[in-house]
Amino acid sequence: MTDAETHHQHRRLAAHLKELRQVAGLSAAAVGQASGWSQSKVSKMENGRTALVVSDVERWLDAVGADDETRGEVVGLAREAGIRVRPWRHADRPGAADQEARGRRDAAAVGIAVYQSEVVPGLLQTPEYARRLLEVHSLMSRDEIPAAVLARMNRQTVLFDETTQFDLVITETALRWRPGSVSVTLAQLDRIEALAALPNVRIGVISRERQERREARPLHSFVLLRHVDSPAVVEIETLTAEQQLTDPADVAHYEQFLVEQQALAAHGAELVELLDSVREELRQLPGPR
């Protein structure tokens, strides 16, 4: 299903929920009270401003007294809308506008978790690391890169909002990937160490030793966004598209994976020791810095 099709499905489902509430003669506050939700959440659901997960839709149907035929139709719509795929060919990615949109997305979350197995996460990147990465791994032209880098740096201001909790896990393999000179990587390591000292930022690195001994399970990179009045969302980037998962059962698997990886990762003094080890190896490499 394309992004446009999924968006249409989502809007159709939201409109259907609102119609069912109105036909039942219930206010948004009444549905919220019956379901244990805030009025804000009810408003977001029926106006299509939040993900609509099956369990929440079923509670809505209970509140409005939907019959079996209606329940089957609406739950079917919810299942179809539970996975959203956005092909990159349909988006301006990863340009400045996309980074600005992601910044707004980040600011709306109360918690952001990241697992990155290939490169340093965007929220932690230095400007030079980001520029080099976009030069070798993006669909944009070179003249678009400066604006995209600036937008990515602006996104990072959310790290200093202590009301938002960040949990990031990086593999040592990703840490060691070098998009440029040794100096670029050294600066990036310093940046990670500095951000790890923030009270609301928890950065862990899965050591190469744990990877080689297969203590840590390999998995694709992903971002998990947590909200107060909306379901958590998992975002996965592939070569051709971005996939979003909102089904609580799916999200729970990613939450559990993060717990496991954080338990294996180096934090605090152990993290600094690992970073120092990588720095020392880099400084001993021959050639220009």
Residue 2 has pLDDT above 60, yes or no: no
Peptide bond into 146 cis (omega under 30): no
Same fold, 3-81 and 86-283: no
The alpha carbon torsion through 24, 28, 31, 32 (nearest 10 deg) reads 180
State yes or no: pLDDT of 270 exceeds 90: yes
**What average pLDDT does this structure show over 257-261?**
95
CATH topology of domain 86-283: Endonuclease; Chain A (3.30.870)
The pLDDT assigned to 8 comes to 63
More confident residue, 104 or 259: 259
> Which letter does DSSP use for residue 240 in this model?
S
How far apart, in whole angstroms, are the C-alpha atoms of residue 28 and residue 22?
9
Q: Return the pLDDT at 85.
A: 62
Position 7 scores a pLDDT of: 58
Q: Are 81 and 10 in contact (CB under 8 A)?
A: yes
**Cα angle vertex 254, ends 83, 7, to 5°?**
15
pLDDT at 181 over 80: yes
Q: Would you state the pLDDT for residue 84? A: 64
* Res 4: pLDDT: 41
Give the CATH class of 3-81: mainly alpha
CB-based burial, 126-143: b 16+ in 10 Å, e otherwise: bebbbbbbbeeebebeee
Residue-wise pLDDT tens digits, 82-132: 656 666 555 544 567 777 878 888 888 999 999 999 999 999 999 999 999
| Mean pLDDT for the chain overall | 87
Angle of CA points 197, 263, 274, to nearest 5° = 50
Whether residue 82 contacts residue 246, with contact meaning beta carbons closer than 8 Å, is answered with yes
**Residue 271 · residue 203 · CB < 8 Å:** yes
What is d(CA 153, CA 178) in angstroms, rounded to the nearest whole number? Answer: 19
Structure tokens given for 269: 């003094």
% of residues, the chain, pLDDT over 90: 49
Q: Which H/E stretch holds residue 125?
A: none
Residue corresponding to tokens 């939201």: 14
Tens of pLDDT, residue by residue over 189-246, are: 999 999 999 999 999 999 999 988 888 888 999 999 998 877 889 999 877 777 888 8
Give the model's pLDDT for residue 49.
Answer: 78
Q: What is the pLDDT of residues 14-34, one digit of tens each?
A: 888 988 899 999 998 999 999
Residue written as token pair 């950065």: 203
Q: Calculate mean pLDDT across residues 252-267.
A: 95
The enclosing H or E element of 137 equals: none
Whether the Cβ atoms of residue 205 and residue 170 lie closer than 8 Å to each other: yes
Predicted confidence at residue 92, as pLDDT, reads 44
CB 51 within 8 A of CB 58: no
Q: What pLDDT is recorded for position 82?
A: 61
Domain extents for the chain? 3-81, 86-283
